[in-house]
Structure 1
């Protein structure tokens, strides 16, 4: 934090009190009256220093709901999962895939003005196609998912996903296959339906962006 934004409230208050009124009791009383302004200043300053970028949004979420963990923006998603951090990932909206006929993989032969035939070259397909034998011989070959028209018209997708470790979450109302119930005695459990959780996300996230909350289980 920049030094010019850090105020030494007790020292500032002492400077503003006339010398004749600089009594301990008077200073303590004025300090008590100044506490709400001090808290408001710190909260506004904190909000001004964070934006809707992923690293800042992750930082804010961890500092609000995962205070026992130290957030590091340089960690990969796998490392964040191992450390039990709240992190953000992209949406799961399927990408468009196209099917082509076999002949469409090849360019047609061309005939030059001199009558010379230039044989067409093999085009590179947009994705690799495996037959059944090739797929079962190499399990790393993932099948291509062809999105249906309904996937784009009847399904709504969030712009990003918020992943929360199961140890922090309580009273879940998120997808049934991810549902669970756990608590941590060292930290206050997150209720993903609470107004505080959604107010925090909606304040920092970019306007027009939607999100979905998911639970993940840490490896033991």
Structure 2
């Protein structure tokens, strides 16, 4: 925090009191009356110094729900998981893969003056299709062709908020019970804390959506 924005309220109050009225009881009484203004100033200043950037969203969430942890914005995701911090990552969406006609992959053939036909150059990398046996080879993963429903009926979040299971276990973060007993551990959770959603909705960009996930620091994504 900038030193010019920090006010020493007790000293400021003492300066504003006339010397003849500088009594301890009088100063304590005025200090109590000044406390609401001090709270409003600190809350407003805090909001002005934080934006919707990822590092600020992570900082705000950890300061509110995970104050015992020291948040380092320069740490990697693996380190944040080991430190059991609340962190934000991009959402997973299927990538668009376009399929072209054979003639669209190449430039049109050219006829040289001597009548020789020259095949056109390759314009677009050809889509690799693997057979059933090659699917088992991890080096040749099949291409996922996204369906129109993937972008119309499924609403993908813009970013994901990962919460350590320790905060859920100790009751700091309350999640709504899941009626689907077969739901996998990689599925999103529904956070019941109103303050959690209020903070994200206040600081994030208006058009962005999010999902919440829980994670265990012992299980790292490979």
TM-score (norm 2): 0.83
Which whole-Å CA distance do the structure 1 matches of 2:58 and 2:195 have between them?
Answer: 16
Which whole-Å CA distance do the structure 2 matches of 1:28 and 1:203 have between them?
Answer: 35
Task: Give the Å deviation of 1:218.
Answer: 1.6
Task: Give the Å deviation of 1:215.
Answer: 1.1
The residue number in structure 2 matching 1:186 is none
Which 5+ residue runs of structure 1 have no aligned equivalent? Answer: 181-190
SS at structure 2 position matched to 1:178? coil
**What are the within-5 Å matches in structure 2 for residues 39-188 of structure 1?**
39-100=39-100, 105-125=105-125, 128-136=128-136, 138-169=137-168, 170-173=173-176, 176-178=183-185
Task: Sort the Cα spacing of 1:139 and 1:67 in 2 relative to 1 into closer, same or farther, 3 A.
Answer: same
SS at structure 2 position matched to 1:201? helix
Task: Give the Å deviation of 1:126.
Answer: 5.9
Which 5+ residue runs of structure 2 have no aligned equivalent? Answer: none
Q: Does the 8 Å contact 2:105/2:126 carry over to 1?
A: no
Q: Does the 8 Å contact 1:10/1:31 carry over to 2?
A: yes
Which whole-Å CA distance do the structure 1 matches of 2:117 and 2:150 have between them?
Answer: 45
Task: Give the Å deviation of 1:42.
Answer: 0.8
Q: What are the Cα deviations for residues 66-108 of structure 1, in whole angstroms up to 9, with x where unaligned?
A: 1111111112222222221111111222221123456654545
Task: Give the Å deviation of 1:15.
Answer: 0.3
**Number of aligned positions between the proteins:** 209
Which whole-Å CA distance do the structure 2 matches of 1:174 and 1:160 have between them?
Answer: 22
Task: Sort the Cα spacing of 1:179 and 1:124 in 2 relative to 1 into closer, same or farther, 3 A.
Answer: closer
Task: Give the Å deviation of 1:160.
Answer: 1.3
Which whole-Å CA distance do the structure 2 matches of 1:210 and 1:26 have between them?
Answer: 51
